[in-house]
């Protein structure tokens, strides 16, 4: 690890060699052996380095496709798992760069159960429209999960990343009665929240509740737009399907529709989540 101390970051599109060099930094962090780093300050420093690299690899200057961005997210999750394996039981580390945030913990299920494992404050009016969720200055995004068995060693990792400049349409596989009709368009309308749980080192899927702030207002009601007629801007809870390489709503549902500025979602599994804007 002696040669991996810092990276050279710039606000410009990376060359192929620069991108490969940064990916190699993450690859090195993935293969850390459990117990190789035994000091919390070192783990915190490596978490900061990893987030620096990730932020550069996924910033808007790189013009990544959704698939390319999600490949980088998957690699970053492996890095965070590696760092979690080096934490002492009962400890956490969290780092933030701009709107990218990571939170890594290792503990017992008894200590983790029945508390939020992720909280992130978003400034009200931070989206494309200056709306407020309530009278407070911030809206707090949250994530909780249900672990139904007692485990002596559990770690979890959270990665929040946001690219408000992404405007490309996306493909969404919808299940149930909410299928897409002709002319329906989709786009990511929130931060991406990647969440993984590891029980004694093994990745384990768990039911998850999460809330995310919208980039633009969305509610399942018809809105009249001059020159476009009446349209519906509907929030949809979704996750990234790593095998099918597309967004899917399977196992996820909207738990709350009262607000236009955020959504509360319930999913029966843990993965990478977002709120999708469905425009009819």
C-beta of residue 61 within 8 angstroms of C-beta of residue 13:
yes
C-beta of residue 277 within 8 angstroms of C-beta of residue 167:
no
d(Cα 274, Cα 259) in Å, to the nearest integer?
Answer: 16
Residue 144 lies in a domain: yes
Q: Residue 130: is it exposed, middle or buried by C-beta count within 10 angstroms (0-12/13-18/19+)?
A: exposed
Is pLDDT at 193 greater than 90 in this prediction?
yes
State both tokens at 39.
Answer: 């000091």
d(Cα 168, Cα 185) in Å, to the nearest integer?
Answer: 10
d(Cα 234, Cα 20) in Å, to the nearest integer?
Answer: 39
Mean pLDDT of 117-122: 85
Q: Residue 131: is it exposed, middle or buried by C-beta count within 10 angstroms (0-12/13-18/19+)?
A: middle
pLDDT value, residue 165: 62
pLDDT value, residue 228: 55
Mean pLDDT of 149-154: 84
pLDDT digits (tens, 9 = 90+) for 68-102: 899 999 999 999 999 998 898 888 999 999 889 99
CA 130 to chain centre: 23
The pLDDT-based confidence of 278 (bands split at 50, 70, 90) is confident
Q: 195 to each of 84, 172, 175, 198, 249, how far by Cα in Å?
A: 13, 20, 22, 10, 16
**Mean pLDDT of all residues belonging to the chain:** 82
| Parent domain of 113 | 91-279
> 238: domain CATH number?
2.60.220.50
Residue 252 lies in a domain: yes
Residue 191 lies in a domain: yes
SS3 state at 45:
helix
Residue 265 lies in a domain: yes
Residue 21 lies in a domain: no
B/e letters for 175-185, b = 16+ CB within 10 Å, e = fewer, are eeeeeeeeeee
> 29 phi and psi, to 5 degrees?
-70, -25
Neighbour tally for 108: CB within 10 Å: 14
Count: domains in the chain: 1
The pLDDT-based confidence of 125 (bands split at 50, 70, 90) is low
> 28 phi and psi, to 5 degrees?
-65, -40
> Please, where are the H alpha helices in the chain?
16-30, 40-58, 66-84, 109-112
Q: Where are the beta strands (DSSP E) in 163-226?
A: 172-173, 185-188, 192-199, 202-204, 208-213, 219-225
Is pLDDT at 44 greater than 70 in this prediction?
yes
C-beta of residue 158 within 8 angstroms of C-beta of residue 194:
yes
* DSSP assignment letter at 60: G
C-beta of residue 56 within 8 angstroms of C-beta of residue 14:
yes
d(Cα 263, Cα 254) in Å, to the nearest integer?
Answer: 7
pLDDT value, residue 139: 85
Mean pLDDT of 137-149: 85
pLDDT value, residue 121: 87
d(Cα 41, Cα 254) in Å, to the nearest integer?
Answer: 39
Is pLDDT at 235 greater than 50 in this prediction?
yes
């Amino acid at each position: 690890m002696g040669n991996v101390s810092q990276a050279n970051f710039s606000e410009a599109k990376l060359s192929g060699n620069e991108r490969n060099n940064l990916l190699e930094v993450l690859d090195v962090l993935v293969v850390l052996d459990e117990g190789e780093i035994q000091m919390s300050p070192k783990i915190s420093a490596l978490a900061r380095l990893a987030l620096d690299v990730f932020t550069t690899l996924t910033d808007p200057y790189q013009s990544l496709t959704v698939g390319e961005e999600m490949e980088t997210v998957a690699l970053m999750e492996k890095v965070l798992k590696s760092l979690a394996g080096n934490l002492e039981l009962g400890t956490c580390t969290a780092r933030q760069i701009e709107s990218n945030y990571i939170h890594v913990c290792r503990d017992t299920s008894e200590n983790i159960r029945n508390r939020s494992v992720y909280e992130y404050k978003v400034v009200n009016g931070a989206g494309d429209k200056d709306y407020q969720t309530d009278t407070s200055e911030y809206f707090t995004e949250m994530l909780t999960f249900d672990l139904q068995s007692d485990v002596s060693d559990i770690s979890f990792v959270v990665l929040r990343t946001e690219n408000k400049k992404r405007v490309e349409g996306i493909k969404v596989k919808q299940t149930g009665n909410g299928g897409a009709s002709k002319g329906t368009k989709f786009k990511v309308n929130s931060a991406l929240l990647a969440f993984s749980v590891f029980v004694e080192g093994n990745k384990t899927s768990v039911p998850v509740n999460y809330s995310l702030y919208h980039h633009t207002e969305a509610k399942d009601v018809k809105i009249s737009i001059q020159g476009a007629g009446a349209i519906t801007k509907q929030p949809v809870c979704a996750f990234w399907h790593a095998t099918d390489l597309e967004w899917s709503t399977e196992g996820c549902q909207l738990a709350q529709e009262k607000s236009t500025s955020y959504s509360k979602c319930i999913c029966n599994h843990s993965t990478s989540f977002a709120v999708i804007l469905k425009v009819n």
